[in-house]
Amino acid sequence: MNALFHPLLKQSFKSSGVYLLIIALTLAISATTALKFSNEQIQNAVALQAAEMLAGDLVLSDNEPIAQDWQDQATAHQLQQSHVTVFSSMAHTQAQFVMVNVKAIEHNFPLRGELRVSPAADKIQSGEIWLSQRAMDLLHVKLGETVNIADAAFTVTAKIEHDSNQELGFSVFSPTVIISQADVARTHAIQVGSRIDYRLLLAGSAKDTQNFEQYFKTHTQQPAQAQQTASPEQNFEEQSSLRLRNASEGNTRLMRPIANLDTFLQLANILTILLCGIAIGLTSQRYVQQNQDHIALLRCIGASKRQILAAYLALLALVLIIAMGIGSILGVTLGYALLQIMLQLIPHLEIQFSAMAMLLGPLPIAMLTSAVVLLGFVLPNLLQLLNTAPIRVIRQQDKSMRAWWWMLLTGTLSLIVFCVVLTESLVLSTWVIGAIIALCVLLYGVVWSLLKLLRHSKGRLAVYIRAPAVTAFQITALALGLSLITVLAVLRTDLLDRWQQQLPEGTPNQFVYGLPPFDMPEFQQQLTQQQWHSTPLYPNIRGRLVAKNDQPFADALIQQSNTLRRELNLTQSDRYPADNIIVNGQANFSAVGQVSVEADTAAELGIQIGDRLSFSLPEGILEAEVINLRTVEWESFSPNFFFIFSPHTMDENAGSYLGSFYVPEADKPKLIQLIQQFANTVFIDVSLILDEIKRIVNVLVQIITILAILVSVSGLLVLIACLNLLMDERKREVALLRSFGSSKQKLKRMLSLEIGFMGFIAGIVACLFAEVISAVASYRMDLMLQPHWEIWLILPVFMTVLCALIGRYRLSYLCDIPPLQSLREMNQS
C-alpha cells in the first residue's frame, strides 16, 4: 500500500479538491462543536434567567409550614434552602394605613438572582423593614422612620430597587415590604384562618433538582379512601395545597419564548449538520472526480481493488486527522468566541466557558459525525470507480445516476443518525429531515422533468441544457443549501413577531383584585376619567370543581390534575376575553346555569359538551351545563379563566371583582391616589415583571441572531461547493469551445445565461424548501403559519444575479489564455 499511498498523497495535494475537502471537514467539526456546546451553555443560562424570577430552581409551597421531612429530603438531595413566608397585612404609620404584601426572608435569600436595595445592604436585620417604592409613596415614609406591621414596629432602612422573585399571581400582592423571617412571630399577623404562603426555595445542580422533582412526584399521593368518602364540602376545605413548582410553572408567560428558543437551538444544530454534510458530500464528489483518472491508471498497471481502496482510505484518514486537528482548535476557539460575543452583547447572561467540557462532550461527537458522513459520501463513489473496467474509467466523463443515488442514500442515512444524536430530538429531526427528503425527491423530479421538456423543445434555452439529470441534481443541491440558510432568518422574524404580539405596546401593567361590588361603578368611572385602557372587570368567586354528571372525579385524576386539587377563580359574563376563541359548541350563552370551559382543561378532565359540572362554593354546590369549549391565551397579561358562567348563574355580591389596566409611566403618581381611594382593594403592579420578561426576550432575540449568522457561515460553504462543481464541469467545455474558435464575448454570454438560469430555478426551489421547512418548525414552535412573500422576491433575483456574475467572471481567465494551455491545466487539476 505504501507504494500507492505516497504517489496518491503527492497527487492529491496538488489539486484543489483535497483542500476543499479539508475545509469542509474542518468547518463541520468546528461549527457543530461550537454550536452544540454554546447551545448547552445558552440553555443553562436562560434556565437560570427564568429561575431568577422564582428566586430559586424550585419552590415548595404550602398554606401550612413546610414539613421537616421535606427539608431533610432537600438536604439529602444536596439542595440549598431558604425559607420565605408571604402574607398580607396592614402596614400603618400614625397617619396612613395600607394593605401590603409582606415577604419574610432569611439571610441567604434569594438563591437565584439578586435583591438590590438602596442604600445597599447584604442582609436584612431583625427590626428592619425594606419597602418598595409604591409602599413608601402610600405610607409617606422616608428612611429612618417607623412603620408598623400589625403589632410590631420596624425601622425603614432601605428601598427595594430590584427583587428577582417576580412571580405573577394573585397571591403576590402589591405593594411589597420585606422583613426578616425572625420577626414574623412578633407581628402577630398570622392568626387562625389567615391566608399564608409558606415557601421553601431550593437551588442546586440540574441533576439534583430533577431528582428532587421526581422524588416529590412519587411521594405526594393523596389518600384515596379519605377523598372518596368525603363530601364535596369537606373536600373543599381538606385537599392538600402542598405544591412544587419549577421556573416553567412559576412563570408560564416566560416559558413559551424559552421553549421556542430551545426548538430554535435544536433546529440550528440540525441545519448546521445538514449544511456541513452537504458540503462534505459535494466536495467529496469533486475530489473523487478529480482522481478518477489516477484510479484508472493504477488499475491499468496492475494494482488490485483492495490495494487502491486501502490507499485511498489511508489518504482519507490523513485528511480527516488534519481536519480534526484544525477543527478542534477552531471549534474550541469559536465556542469561546461565540460565548464571549454573547456576554458582550447580553451582559445579563451568566455563561461559564469550560474547554474540558467541550473536549469531552461535543468535540468527539462532531469528529465521529464528520468521519461517518465523509465515508457515507465517498465510499459509494470509490466503489463505483473500482468496479469499473480501467478503459471505461479512462473514457468515462459522467457519473452514472446509480452512483449518485447510492451516495445520497448512504450519506443521508449517516446525516439522519447524527442529527438525532447531536440534537437529542428525535421528533424534530424526523420532521425536518423527512420534509427535506420528501421535498428533494419531489422537486428533483419536477426540475428534471422541466429541464428535459426544455431540452426537447429545441428552443433557445435548449442549447444550455445538456444533462438534465445531473443539472437537476445540482440545482436541487444549490437550492437546498440556500434554503437552509433562509429558514433561520424566516423563523427569527416569525419569533420576533410572536413575542411582540405577546407583549404589545400598552400591555396591561396593573392588576386590580378584590374590588368590592359596591366600589365597582366608581372604579370604572375613575379609569374612564384618567383614560387608562382596561379590560372588563370580572366578578370573581372562589370555588372547586368536584363532580361531573353527579359523579365525583376519580382519585387518580385528582392526583394528576392541579385544577381539581385547588380553588379556582370563577366568573360570569355575557362576553369572553378578547383573545379567547370558541373551538366547539355554541358561541353565546342562552340561559342561566351554563358554563364555558377552557379546551385543554376539558381534554384533561374528559369534559364534553352537555356535561353537568358541580362546583363547591363557600355558600353551597353550584351546577352548570357545559355549552362550549374555548382556547385561552394564558401568556397575555389580561384576566383569563378556566370556567366562565352565564350571567346571573352566581351571586355577584358573594365575591369581588378583578381586571387589568394600563397606566403610562407619566401617570404613575395618579395611581397612588387611586390606590388610596380604594383602600380595601388589592393592586398588583406587574410592570417589573413585564420589564423582566422584555429583558429576557431581548436576550433571546440577540441569541438567535448570533446563531443565525453562525449557521449562515456553514451555508456559504455549501454554496461555494455547489458552484465549484458547476464550474468544474464547464471549464473543459470552455477550453474546447475556445479551441474551435468561439469568441470570448459569446462564451461569457453563454456562461452567464446558463448559470444564471440555473440560479433562477434554484432560487425558486429554495423558496419552496424554505417555506415547507419553516412551516414544520413553526408547527413545532406553535407559531402561526404564514407565507413569506419577501423571500419569493429576493431569492430568485439574488441567485440569478450571483450565478450569472460567477459564470461570467469566474471562468473568464480561460478565455484569455491559449486553448491548449487550458486543456493541459484541466488535465493536471
DSSP H helices in 740-818: 744-781, 789-809
Cα torsion 317, 321, 323, 325 to 10°: value is 180
Q: Is 737 helix (H, G, I), strand (E, B) or coil?
A: helix
Q: How does strand 97-105 pair with strand 80-92?
A: antiparallel
Residue identified by cell 417604592 is: 133
Point out which residues pair with 152 in neighbouring strands.
Answer: 149
- pLDDT value at position 318? 87
Establish if 95 belongs to a structural domain.
yes
Residue 309 has pLDDT above 90, yes or no: no
Higher pLDDT, residue 352 or 452:
452
On whether residue 54 sits in a domain, the answer given is: no
Residue 362's identity, in one-letter code, is P
Give me the residue label for grid cell 419549577: 246
- Which pLDDT score, from 0 to 100, does residue 580 have? 87
Note the pLDDT of residue 146. 93
Q: In the 8-state DSSP scheme, what is residue 152?
A: E
In a domain, 773, yes or no: yes
Asked if residue 93 has pLDDT above 60, the reply is yes
> What backbone phi and psi angles, to 5 degrees, belong to 222?
-75, 140
**Separation of alpha carbons 457 and 48, rounded Å:** 63
Q: What is the pLDDT of residue 127?
A: 92
- Residue 56 domain-assigned (yes or no): no
How far is 237 from 64, CA to CA, in rounded Å? 13
The H or E element spanning position 147 is strand 146-149
Q: Say which residue the cell 432601605 belongs to.
A: 158
N residues, the chain: 829
pLDDT score at 504: 67
CA 739 to chain centre: 57
Q: Is 661 left (phi over 0), alpha (psi -120 to 50) or beta?
A: beta
The C-alpha cell at 80 is: 440549598
Residues 6+ apart with CB under 8 A from 552: 228, 232, 546
pLDDT digits (tens, 9 = 90+) for 693-745: 676 667 667 766 766 676 666 666 666 666 666 666 666 666 677 666 777 77
Cα dihedral 796→802→805→811 (10° resolution)? -120
In a domain, 791, yes or no: yes
pLDDT at 614 over 90: yes
Statement to judge: residues 681 and 718 lie in one domain: no
Banded pLDDT at 633 (limits 50, 70, 90): confident
Reply yes or no on whether the pLDDT at 235 is more than 50. no
Residue corresponding to grid cell 444575479: 801
Q: Could you give the CA distance from residue 288 to residue 775 in angstroms, rounded to a whole number?
A: 37
**Range list of H helices, 503-610:** 520-530, 555-560, 562-565, 599-605
Handedness of CA 324, 328, 329, 335 (dihedral sign): positive
Global model pTM greater than 0.75: no
Say which residues have a Cβ less than 8 Å from residue 123's Cβ, sequence separation at least 6: 107
The residue among 81 and 42 whose pLDDT is bigger is 81
Q: In whole angstroms, what is the distance from residue 640 CA to residue 644 CA?
A: 9
pLDDT value of position 171: 42
Q: Tell me the residue range of the domain where 615 lies.
A: 510-685
Mean pLDDT confidence for 441-470: 74
Given a cut of 70, whether residue 388 has pLDDT beyond it is no
Give yes or no: residues 706 and 642 share one domain. Answer: no
Q: What is the per-residue burial (b if ≥16 Cβ within 10 Å, else e) of 638-671?
A: bbbbbbbbbeebbebeebbbbbbbbbeeeebeeb
Is 740 within the bounds of a domain? yes
- How much is the average pLDDT of 290-313? 75
Q: Which amino acid is at 353?
A: F
Instruction: Decide which of 637 and 62 is more confident.
Output: 62
Shared domain check, 492 and 343: yes
Indicate the residue type of 695. R
All cell numbers assigned to 303: 494494482
CA distances from 310 to 3, 280, 302, 344 (A): 12, 21, 15, 49
17-36 in b/e burial notation, b at 16+ Cβ within 10 A?
bbebbbbbbbbbbbbbbbbb
At residue 538, does pLDDT exceed 70?
Answer: yes
Supply the pLDDT for residue 815: 64
Q: Helix or strand or coil: residue 619?
A: coil
Asked which of 249-263, 460-474, 583-597 is least confident by mean pLDDT, the reply is 249-263
Distances (CA, A) of 557 to 552, 564, 565, 642, 763: 10, 8, 10, 17, 53
- Please tell me whether residues 454 and 360 are part of one structural domain: yes
Between helix 468-502 and helix 252-300 the angle, nearest 10°, is 160
Please say which residue of 221, 250, 279 terminates a domain: 250
How is residue 127 written as a grid cell? 427590626
Classify strands 643-645 and 568-572 as parallel, antiparallel or unpaired: parallel
Least Cα distance to 148 among 104, 89, 103 occurs for: 89
Closest CA to 5 of 304, 218, 354, 307: 307
Phi, psi of 424 (to 5 degrees): 55, 30
CA distance 600 to 605: 9
Name the nearest CA neighbour of 287 among 315, 249, 326.
315
Q: pLDDT digit string (tens) for 766-795?
A: 888 888 878 877 777 777 777 888 888 888
- 640 to 537, 576, 591, 800: CA distances (angstroms): 11, 9, 22, 51
Provide, rounded to the nearest whole percent, the portion of the chain with pLDDT above 70: 70
Tell me: pLDDT of 180 over 90.
yes
- Count of domains observed in the chain: 3
- For residue 390, the tally of other CB atoms under 10 A from its CB is 15
Whether 25 and 89 map to the same domain: the answer is no
Instruction: Write the Ramachandran bin of 648: left for phi over 0, alpha for psi from -120 to 50, otherwise beta.
Output: left
DSSP code, position 466: S
Q: How sure is the predictor about 228, in pLDDT bands with cuts at 50, 70 and 90?
A: very low
What are the Cα distances from residue 455, in Å, to 447, 450, 759? 12, 9, 17
Task: Give the pLDDT score at 408.
Answer: 61
Domain co-membership, 646 together with 774:
no
Distance separating alpha carbons of residues 470 and 758, to the nearest angstrom: 12
User: Residues 255-264: pLDDT tens digits?
Assistant: 566 666 667 7
Instruction: Between 5 and 539, name the one with better pLDDT.
Output: 539
Are 498 and 783 within 8 A, CB to CB? yes
Question: 513 versus 423: which is more confidently predicted?
Answer: 513
Verify that 106 and 239 share a domain, yes or no.
Answer: yes
**Strand residues in 589-668 grouped as ranges (E):** 594-598, 612-617, 620-631, 643-645, 656-661
pLDDT in tens, 115-166: 889 898 888 999 999 998 888 888 889 999 999 998 899 999 999 987 766 5
Same domain? 535 vs 647 = yes
What pLDDT is stored for residue 724 in this prediction?
66
**Residue 561 Cα distances to 319, 552, 605, 645, angstroms:** 58, 14, 8, 21
Residue 805 is predicted with a pLDDT of 79
Give all strands (DSSP E) within 632-678, no chain letters: 643-645, 656-661
pLDDT band at 638 (very low <50, low <70, confident <90, very high): confident
Count of beta carbons in the 10 Å neighbourhood of residue 617:
20
10 and 69 together in one domain? no
Q: Among 22-26, 652-656, 686-690, 758-762, which stretch is predicted with the lowest mean pLDDT?
A: 686-690
pLDDT value for 646: 92
Residues 731 and 631 in one domain: no
At residue 616, the 3 state secondary structure works out as strand
**Nearest-angstrom CA–CA distance, 308 and 739:** 35
Residue-level pLDDT at 178: 93
| Helix, strand, coil percent content, the chain, rounded in steps of 5 | 60, 15, 25
Of the residues 209, 226, 250, which one is the last residue of a structural domain? 250
pLDDT at 422 over 70: no
Question: How many CB atoms sit inside 10 A of residue 72's CB?
Answer: 10
Using an 8 Å Cβ cutoff, are 731 and 811 in contact? Answer: yes
Between CA 653 and CA 645 the distance in angstroms is 15
Does residue 53 lie within any of the structural domains? no
Specify the pLDDT at position 817: 62
Q: Could you tell me if 490 and 518 lie in one domain?
A: no
Over residues 408-419, the mean pLDDT reads 63
Are residue 667 and residue 698 in the same domain, yes or no? no
Provide, rounded to the nearest whole percent, the portion of the chain with pLDDT above 90: 12
Out of 224, 250, 276, pick the residue that ends a domain: 250
Say which DSSP state 99 is in: E
Between 69 and 374, where is the model more confident? 69
**Alpha carbon distance 671, 532 (integer Å):** 10
Cell numbers describing residue 69: 421531612
Q: Residue 610's pLDDT is what?
A: 92
Asked if 718 contacts 278 with a C-beta cutoff of 8 angstroms, the reply is yes
In this structure, the number of other CB atoms found within 10 A of the CB of residue 209 comes to 21
